[in-house]
Structure 1
C-alpha cells in the first residue's frame, strides 16, 4: 500500500462540487461591473472573474439546448442495471431532517456530518437503511435487529480513527451514487489511504490495528465492486502483513474482524476472481463441524444420486452439509439477539461456501453440469440464511454466472441426460436473479426446455424441487413469484 503515490486531499466541503442555484438573479443574468479606474479591469483577479463568468454562461447555454432537444430523456449506461438493488421500495416516507433521527447513523459522530446528512436527501428511510447496510457488508453493521458484527463491538471508538471514518464515508457515498465512483469518492479514498500509510510509517499503535484493518476491508469492498483485481489483492496482502504483526506482538483481534476478513476475501474472489488469501480453516474462530448426534440429516438428496459419480466424494459431502443446513433452517427459528446461534450459522455457511468455491475452481470448464450444480448450491447455501447479510451483489452475480453456463448446456446433449438437475438449477437461478434482463432470460430458458409440459402448477413444481435443495419455508415466496412471472409468458 505504501508503494503507491496517493493524493492527500482532505475531505472538506470545498472539495465536493456544490450545485448552484440557477434560479437566482445573478444565476440567470450577466453582471455589469463599473470601475472608477480604467486600469482596474486589467488586474488578473478581475480577468479571472470575467473569464469564469463567461465560461459559466456558455455552459448553461449548452445545457439548456440539450435539455430542450432531449425533453424527458437522459442517457445512461446499460451496465448500471447490473448494480441496481434487487429490492425497490415505494417513496412513501420522507427522509428526516435530523440525521440523529435515523437509526443506522445514531452513532456516526464524525466531523463530516453535513455530508452524511446530504447522503439521505431524496431517499426514503427504508432505502437508506438497505443501502447503508449493503455498503458496509460484510465488515460491520449499525442495525439494532441483529447481534452480529455490530460496529461498536468490533471497533469501539472507531469513529475517532480518521482512516476508518473516511473509509465509512467512502462506502456510504459510493453506495449513495449507485456504485458510481465520483470525485467525492476519490477524495474519501485518498484520505483513507493517506491516514493508513501514516500509521504504517510510524510506530504502529496496537490498539489501532483493528481500525486500520477495518478501513482496509472497506477499501476492498469498494475495489471489488469496481472490478479492480490488482488493488484488491494488494490490500489483502497488506492485511496479511498486519495479521503477522499482531501475531508477533501478541495482539488479540476481535472475532468479528476475522470474520470480516474471511468474507471480504471470499466475496472478492467470486466477483472479480482475485486470489484467495484466507479460507475457512485460516481462523480457529470460524471452525465448524458436523453434529455427531444428528448424523441422520447429513444425507444426499435423491435428485443428485444420478450425478453422484460425477461429483466425487468431497463434493457429495458438501451437498450433504447444505441439505442438513436446509433441515436446520426449516426446523428452527433464529433468534437474532442470540450471538451464539448467529456465530454458529455464520461458521456453518463459511465452511460450506468456502468449499463450494474451491470445488468451482477445481472443476473443469467442460464439466458444465457439475459447474451448474455448484453455482446453484452456492445460491441455496447463501440464501438459506440472509438475516446476517442481505446484500444483493453475491446472489445476483452467482445467478448471472449460472445463467451463462446454463445457456451453454442448453445447446448440448447433456441437457436431456441431466434434465431434472438442470431444471432445478434453472428455477433456483431464476428465483434469485435480479429483476430485469437476467430474470427474463431465465424465463425464456425455462420455456425453451419444455418444462411447462411436465409440471403445470406451482405445487407440483415445489414438490419436484424438494428432491434437490429447496426450502419451502425460506424459498417459497420468491420461488412462487418467479413461477408466476414464468406462467404469464
Structure 2
C-alpha cells in the first residue's frame, strides 16, 4: 500500500495529550462565579464589559438551544450583515476582501462559529499564516482557496487545519489548548482517510491540510515533524501518479513553496525542487537576451560566484527590469504564474548555492542571502508575510558580523555595504533594524553617502529597484542618518 511507510510513523492523537479540557459541554452550560478581594474591582469598566459579554453569550446559547430543538440544526446567521461588511472591506482594502458566503454551510467543528472565522481571515497577521498554501483574497487570481480546494470547508481535516493556522497566528504564534484541539482533530481525520478510496478533491484537501500542519510546525521549529509530513505528501503524490489522479497546479505550487520555506527556516531536507513539477517550469526568453545582465557592482565577484550563480544573478536582474517597467495585474493569472515560476526558479537555485557555499566564505553566503531577500521582495503582492524576509534578514546580519574582518570583504567593501542596506531595509523594526544601523556605523568598510539620491545611485550598481524598494530603503537610510 502506498501509505504504509508513512502510516507507520504517522502522528496519532496520543502524541498531543489534551490534558483536562475545561471547555466541556457541562462546563459551557454553567456560569462561573469569581470573587474579588476588592469589591470596587467589579465596578471597573473592563470587568463590567466581560460580565455583559458573558451574559449576552449565555442568552444567545439559550436561543440556539431552542432553535436546535425545533430545526435539529443551528445554522442561523444574517447574510446581509456579512455582505455589507464584505462590501465595506472591499472599498477600504480590496486586496483582503473576503466573501464569507462562499464558504458554504457545514457542521464541521472548525467553522461552527462563522463570525470568528470571518474575523480571523480578516486579520492580516492571522491570514498570512495560510501562506503559501492558499489565500482568501478576492483581489487576486493566485492561490485562491476555492480554486484549489473547491468545497474544502466541508472537509474536516482541511477546515480544522485552517482554523489551527489562523488561531495559532492570532495567538501570536503561541500554541494554546484550542490549537491543540484543532491539531488533534486535523490529524485524526487525516489518519481516517489514509487507506480509504480517495478521489481527486479528497487528495487535494488532504495534502492541503498536511501542508498547513507543516506551516505550523516549521514556525514552532519542529524539524522531525516537518520532514515526516512532507514525506507523507511525497507518498500521496506517488499514489496520485499510480491512480492517474491530476492535481490542481496550485497544490503543486503550495507543496514547492512550503517545502522551500521550511528548508530555509529550520533546515529540513528538501524534497521538491523547482524542476520537479512541470507547472513551475521557467526558462529565459530567447528574444530578450539583453535583459539578462550581471549588474556592474557584482563584476569584481564574478570569480567568487562562479558561472552558475552569475546566471542566477542575471535572472534576478531580468526580474527586476520586468517589475520596474510593468504594473502587475492581480487578476491576470498567466502573468502571476509566470512571475511565480520566475521566482521559484531563482529562489530554489539560490538555496542550493547556499547549501554548498563554504561556511568560511562569508562574502558568498552574505551575498546569497541578500540576493534571496531581493528576489523575495521583488514580487510580494500576493504573499506579504513577514516570516521569510525577517528570518533572512536576521541570518544575513549574523553572517555580516562574522565576516566583516574577512580579507575577501576588504577587497569588496561596496558589496558588503549593499548587503547591509538590503538586510537593514527589510529587517523587522526593533532590535534587528537597530543592529544593522550599529553595524554600519561601527564597520570599517565604508559609509553610505550623505544624500539619499547618491545612496540610491550606489545601490543601483547592484540590485535595487527604485519603484519597489524606495519606501523601506529610504526609511532605513533615514534611521541610519539620525544616529
TM range (shorter): 0.7 to 0.9
Q: Deviations over 1:449-470 (max 9, x none)?
A: 3577551111100000000010
1:37-116 equivalence runs, <5 A:
101-102=85-86, 103-104=97-98, 106=100, 107-109=102-104, 110=106, 111=108, 112-113=110-111, 115=113
Equivalent residue for 2:115? 117
In the alignment, which of 429, 440, 448 is matched to residue 446 of structure 1? 440
Equivalent residue for 1:389? 383
CA contact (8 A) 1:233 1:275 kept: yes
Verify: 1:185 aligned to 2:179, yes or no. yes
In the alignment, which of 202, 210, 213 is matched to residue 216 of structure 1? 210
Verify: 1:480 aligned to 2:474, yes or no. yes
Equivalent residue for 1:27? 34
For residues 205 and 410 of structure 1, do their structure 2 counterparts lie closer, same or farther at Cα, with a shift above 3 Å needed?
same
Verify: 1:7 aligned to 2:1, yes or no. no
CA contact (8 A) 2:149 2:201 kept: no
1:162 Cα deviation from its structure 2 partner: 0.6
Verify: 1:456 aligned to 2:450, yes or no. yes
- More divergent stretch after superposition (449-458 vs 386-395): 449-458
Verify: 1:134 aligned to 2:141, yes or no. no
Unaligned runs of 5+ in 1: 30-59, 65-95
Equivalent residue for 2:148? 154
Verify: 1:289 aligned to 2:296, yes or no. no
1:410 Cα deviation from its structure 2 partner: 1.6
For residues 456 and 155 of structure 1, do their structure 2 counterparts lie closer, same or farther at Cα, with a shift above 3 Å needed?
same
CA contact (8 A) 1:119 1:173 kept: no
Equivalent residue for 1:315? 309
> CA–CA distance in 2 between the matches of 1:451 and 1:415?
8
1:201 Cα deviation from its structure 2 partner: 3.3
Partner SS state of residue 450, structure 2: coil
CA contact (8 A) 1:15 1:184 kept: no
1:196 Cα deviation from its structure 2 partner: 0.6
Q: Deviations over 1:358-392 (max 9, x none)?
A: 00001010111011100000000000010121110
For residues 116 and 362 of structure 1, do their structure 2 counterparts lie closer, same or farther at Cα, with a shift above 3 Å needed?
farther
> CA–CA distance in 1 between the matches of 2:396 and 2:409?
14
Q: How many residues of Structure 1 are paired with residues of Structure 2 in the alignment?
A: 417
In the alignment, which of 190, 194, 197 is matched to residue 200 of structure 1? 194
> CA–CA distance in 2 between the matches of 1:237 and 1:393?
23
1:382-461 equivalence runs, <5 A:
382-449=376-443, 455-461=449-455
1:415 Cα deviation from its structure 2 partner: 3.0
1:207 Cα deviation from its structure 2 partner: 3.4
Q: Tell me the TM-score normalised to structure 2 length.
A: 0.81
CA contact (8 A) 2:200 2:246 kept: no
Q: Tell me the TM-score normalised to structure 1 length.
A: 0.80
1:245 Cα deviation from its structure 2 partner: 0.6
CA contact (8 A) 1:148 1:342 kept: yes
Equivalent residue for 1:334? 328
1:413 Cα deviation from its structure 2 partner: 3.6
> CA–CA distance in 2 between the matches of 1:16 and 1:309?
63
